[in-house]
Each structure stands twice: as structure tokens, then as C-alpha cells.
């Protein structure tokens, strides 16, 4: 009988798979050969690798956010609220990962960044189409932002489609009506491509939910999940603004924006407004 001692001595358990000539490996499944060869620096500066990886991983997390948000929207449209809670909880956890990534980027000093910033040309985080899709899914609609995507026809059409679809807050408001709470028809049948404006009937409906949580527990849970996401999104924006200010001060952005000044203005936008205003009236 063949001795098993050599296998044990190698540090591998006997049943561990080592032959992948015909089987799929971990690297195959994750396409690591593609992912890990996509960090192509345009300069020889050491810290450009950090800059690239932070943004690439952020885009991967954003892809997952969209995956979860879009699924949650479909659940709510079917009046199947409970499965959406897990999806929305996951979104807020992902947002925490994105917020933490800014802390890593702050290790990039102004003196280092200026060594390769000129290599970026006019590319800018403002052009992140996934971030734009997330904003649309959360209800911040702005048709003017689509101009930067006109050179990519398929992408432009995808963004146009998203612009005209209901956001997660729109479908949450529809869920209020489905559960018998009075909501103005002009809100339920509004133009989804327009930014949402606060409405008294919506605030009153949410107030009823918060005053009768036992009766409307699912709607109450949905509302609090949305508040979590809105809060995390604002924290992400604040960390974005403060990180940019720390690294480039008040320079113009590479994409042509006013940089920090623009990012501070973005902070003025409030997600899911009635879910915040009702707290004063409770």
C-alpha cells in the first residue's frame, strides 16, 4: 500500500484538489487573470496603484448595490416587502465599505497626487455611470448629467431608461397606497424622470405608519431601511468631499467641475425627505 506520509509532509490534506487541468479553479471562476491585470498605471509613481484600485473596487461595490436595489424595487412592486429588507440591509453595509475606502485614499498626499494627476486627462469620478444609476435608483434624477455619456450609445440608452423608471422611494410611496393609505394621485402618477418634490399626503401617510407600527410593520421596516441607506449615502458624499479637499484643496476637478465647491452643493440634496421631516411631527 502506498504510504500517505509524503502527502501529509507536504502540508496538504489528502482530499485537497490539486489537479486543475480539466476542472475550474478559484482563479478561473473569478476571472482573476482579467481583474488583476487591469491596473495599468499611466505613470511610474508608486501611489497611482492605490488610486486605481480604490476606484476599481468602488465600482465593483457599486455594481452590487445596483444588483440589490433593482431587486428590492421589483420586490416592492410585487408587494412582497420582506425579501427587500435583506437586500436593503446589504446595500447599507456595502455603503459602509465605500465610506471606509475614502479613509484608505486619504493616505495619498497632495505631494504624491500631483505627480500623476496630469495623466488622468479629463477623466473624473463624476463620469461614473454606476454612481449615476445609484442616484437615479435613490430618486435623485437629473437629465442634464447624461450629456457626458452621449459618446457611448448603449450606456446612454441605459441611463435614459433608468431616468424614466420609478426610484425605490417612488415604489415605496406606491406601497403606501397599496396598503390603503391616501396618497395624492399626482404623486403616484408623476413623471419619474423629474426629481422628487416633498408632498404633504406622503408625509401624512408615513406618519400614520410610524404612529401605528404594529398595523403597518412591513412599511415601517421598509421606511427605516431607506433612512439607513439615505444616511449612508450622505456620509459617503461627505467623505468624498472631505477627501478631495484634503488631497487637492479647491482646485478644479479633472472633469471640469468646481471640485470641492460642487461636492458641497451635492450635500444639500436630501433623500426620502418625508421620512426625515416626519420625525419632527411625531
Binding residues for substrate, by number, are 51-55, 113, 117, 254
| 271 vs 139: CA distance, rounded Å | 7
User: Could you tell me the three cell numbers for 196?
Assistant: 422628487
Binding residues for heme, as ranges, are 240
Compute and round to an integer the Cα radius of gyration of the chain. Answer: 23
| 206 vs 218: CA distance, rounded Å | 12
Binding residues, as ranges, are 51-55, 113, 117, 240, 254
Cα–chain center distance at 103: 17
| 235 vs 87: CA distance, rounded Å | 20
**Burial per residue of 213-249, b for 16 or more beta-carbon CB atoms within 10 angstroms, e otherwise:** eeebebbbbbbebbbbbbebbbebbbbbbebbbebbe
Inter-CA distances, 27 with 5, 22, 24, 157, 237, Å: 29, 14, 8, 33, 34
Amino acid at each position: 500500500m502506498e504510504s500517505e506520509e509524503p502527502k501529509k509532509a507536504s502540508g496538504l490534506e489528502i482530499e485537497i484538489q490539486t489537479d486543475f487541468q480539466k476542472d475550474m479553479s478559484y482563479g478561473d471562476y473569478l476571472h482573476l487573470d482579467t481583474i488583476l491585470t487591469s491596473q495599468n498605471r499611466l505613470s511610474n509613481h508608486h501611489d497611482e496603484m492605490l488610486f486605481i484600485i480604490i476606484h476599481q473596487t468602488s465600482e465593483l461595490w457599486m455594481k452590487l448595490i445596483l444588483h440589490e436595489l433593482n431587486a428590492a424595487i421589483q420586490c416592492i412592486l410585487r408587494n412582497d416587502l420582506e425579501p427587500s429588507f435583506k437586500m436593503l440591509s446589504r446595500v447599507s453595509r456595502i455603503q459602509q465599505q465605500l465610506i471606509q475606502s475614502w479613509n484608505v485614499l486619504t493616505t495619498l498626499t497632495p505631494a504624491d497626487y500631483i505627480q500623476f494627476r496630469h495623466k488622468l486627462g479629463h477623466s473624473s469620478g463624476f463620469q461614473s455611470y454606476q454612481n449615476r444609476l445609484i442616484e437615479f435608483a435613490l430618486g435623485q434624477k437629473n437629465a442634464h448629467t447624461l450629456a457626458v455619456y452621449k459618446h457611448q450609445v448603449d450606456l446612454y440608452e441605459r441611463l435614459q431608461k433608468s431616468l424614466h423608471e420609478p426610484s425605490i422611494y417612488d415604489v415605496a410611496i406606491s406601497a403606501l397606497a397599496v396598503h390603503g393609505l391616501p396618497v395624492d394621485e399626482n404623486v403616484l402618477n408623476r413623471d419619474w424622470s423629474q426629481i422628487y418634490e416633498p408632498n404633504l399626503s406622503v408625509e401624512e401617510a408615513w406618519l400614520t405608519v410610524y404612529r401605528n407600527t404594529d398595523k403597518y410593520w412591513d412599511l415601517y421596516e421598509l421606511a427605516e431601511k431607506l433612512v439607513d441607506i439615505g444616511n449612508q449615502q450622505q456620509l459617503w458624499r461627505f467623505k468624498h468631499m472631505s477627501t478631495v479637499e484634503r488631497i487637492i484643496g479647491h482646485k478644479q476637478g479633472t472633469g471640469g467641475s468646481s471640485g470641492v465647491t460642487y461636492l458641497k452643493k451635492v450635500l444639500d440634496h436630501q433623500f426620502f425627505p418625508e421620512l426625515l421631516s416626519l420625525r419632527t411631527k411625531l
